[in-house]
Amino acid sequence: MEAVNVNQFTEGPVCVHVIQSKTYKTNTLVLHIRAPLTKEDHTKRALLPLVMQSGSKDYPTRQKIRQSLDELYGASLTGDVNKKGENHLISFRLEVANERYLKDNTPLLEEAFKMMTSVVANPLVEDGGFKDSILTSEKRNLKQRIESVYDDKIRYANMRLNEEMCKDEPYGLFVYGNASELDEITPAALYDYYKKIMQEDVLDLYVVGDVEVDEIKKLVQAHLAFPERKDQTPSSAEKEKTRTIEENEIIEQQDLKQGKLHLGYRTNITYQDDEYFALQLFNGLFGGFSHSKLFINVREKASLAYYAASRVESHKGLLMVMSGIETSNYDKAVRIIREQMEAMKNGDFDDAQLEQTKAVLKNQLLETMDAPRGLVELMYHNELGEKKRELDEWIPGIEKVTKEDVVSVAEKVELDTIYFLKGTEDDSGE
């Protein structure tokens, strides 16, 4: 593995992480703005990055921003929201070509940096609020985005499972907010919220590419200077309380050809815990890969599905299974999935399978590190949890896991909710 050279420094409230690498032909900037996910703010928060990237003081329209990005050799700038555990992140990402591969020698990094910071730090303000017309179109945009989840049935089933399973927890909130709250948001209220997050939220900037640390320091000082904050501990998401779980089954029906079967488990393990790597291996053996129990038993042996997989949410400690099946096969599919979980709890896998899963996990991890965004994603885990793990601790961490470790993880995993979106189509005519 190529050594990854990381330099870290703070500039005002911004924690800057510079990852020096000659591998890429581009430079990548990622700014994460973090706060706890709350019912009160989540819709405003989802709307904010859309409004911010539609106009800034220096580039007052969406079109001006896009034209300037084109001029910077198609630099891409996106602003979006994400859910990590019970944190609601606003993230801006910018990727720009490294000018050494161009005939032109415009200082692209600096120009791109200015673009992004203009959007983040110098928003377009009129009469003490965001521009009304921008707000109107971005509300419409977000509303359509929220509604379109209904149209993508896999995403819809995921959202519904989250909603049902985490009814009384912030995690059950939808990342893009609630469409019915959009009308209430005024230009001034949203701008007040913007000012609040710039005062209070946790800011992490990542820069990946063939860059110098001093150069980045100068850019941050010149363009991303925020006032020092009063000494305060950043608010972080509440730690999960232990809860008693009762299995819950939710069945809905829509006019569909294929039923969507999604199961939510509580693993009771998060990134914070020492058992985190064992959890990754558990997931790999259970449903994470094409050699795992779900793929082999639901798809290959029973021929019930095209996909049957599981994934882990690292900071909330959930494990989600998803599969697309014939509606009439519901009982059979649920039975097979339950059996696979039982098999995991009984330690029904051998060392060869454990080794195979380690090999695939290591491969996946190294591949993630090949992409600038993947690298940032991995490193950001350390900011989300209180636990710090260096990149070079991951592989030894995976290596060390034993069969007993995986079984002890399996024993902690509890089924919480089965969500089934069933189709109406008569599927007897196969």
Partner 1 sequence: MNKQTFDQLNETLYYEQLDNGLDVYILPKAGFNKSFATFTTKYGSIDNHFIPLGKKDALKVPDGIAHFLEHKLFEDEDGDVFQLFSKQGASANAFTSFTRTAYLFSSTSSVEQNLKTLLDFVQKPYFTEESVEKEKGIIGQEIKMYDDNPDWRGYFGLISNLYEYHPVKIDIAGTIESINEVTKDLLYTCYETFYHPNNMLLFIVGNVDPEEMMKLVKENQAAKEFSKPEKIDRFFEAEPPEVDQASQEIAMNVKTGKCLVGFKDRSPDRQGEALLKHELSINILLEMMFGPSSENYETLYEEGLIDDTFSFDYSGELGFGFSVIGGDTSKPDELSDRIKSMVEEFVKRELHEETMESIRKKKIGYFLKSLNSPEYIANQFTRYQFNDMNLFDVIPTLESITIEDLNAAMAEHFKTDTQYSKCLVKPKGDS
Work out whether 6 is an interface residue with partner 1 (CB under 8 A).
no
Q: State the DSSP H helix or E strand holding residue 330, giving kind and residue range, or none if neither.
A: helix 330-345
Nearer of residues 344 and 415 to partner 1, judged by Cβ: 344
And the tokens for 8?
């870290």
CA distance 284 to 289: 6
Work out whether 5 is an interface residue with partner 1 (CB under 8 A).
no
CA nearest neighbour of 332 among 282, 294, 298, 309 = 298
Among 5, 307, 399, 404, interactor with partner 1 by CB under 8 A: 307
Angle at 340 between CA 334 and CA 341, to 5 degrees: 90
Nearer of residues 355 and 411 to partner 1, judged by Cβ: 355
Among 16, 21, 182, 282, interactor with partner 1 by CB under 8 A: 21
| Closest distance to partner 1 from the beta carbon of 108 (Å) | 8
Nearer of residues 140 and 196 to partner 1, judged by Cβ: 140
Contact 344, 412 (CB under 8 A): no
Among 39, 243, 291, 311, interactor with partner 1 by CB under 8 A: 291
**Residues between 309 and 328 with contacts to partner 1, criterion CB under 8 A:** 324-326
Among 150, 214, 274, 390, interactor with partner 1 by CB under 8 A: 150
Nearer of residues 3 and 168 to partner 1, judged by Cβ: 3
- Any bridge partners for residue 79, and if so which? 92
| Closest distance to partner 1 from the beta carbon of 183 (Å) | 15
Span interacting with partner 1, options 38-46, 191-199, 225-233, 289-297, rule CB under 8 A = 289-297
| Closest distance to partner 1 from the beta carbon of 246 (Å) | 31
Work out whether 76 is an interface residue with partner 1 (CB under 8 A).
yes
Reading across the β-sheet that carries 248-253, which strands appear in turn? 248-253, 414-422, 259-266, 318-325, 305-313
Among 41, 86, 95, 164, interactor with partner 1 by CB under 8 A: 95
**Residues between 126 and 145 with contacts to partner 1, criterion CB under 8 A:** 133, 137, 140-141, 144-145
Instruction: Give the C-alpha distances (Å, rounded to integers) separating 103 from 71, 100, 261.
Output: 14, 8, 53
**Residues between 96 and 115 with contacts to partner 1, criterion CB under 8 A:** 96-98, 101-104
Tokens 């989600």 -> residue = 320
| List of E strands, 256-391 | 259-266, 305-313, 318-325
Contact 94, 75 (CB under 8 A): yes
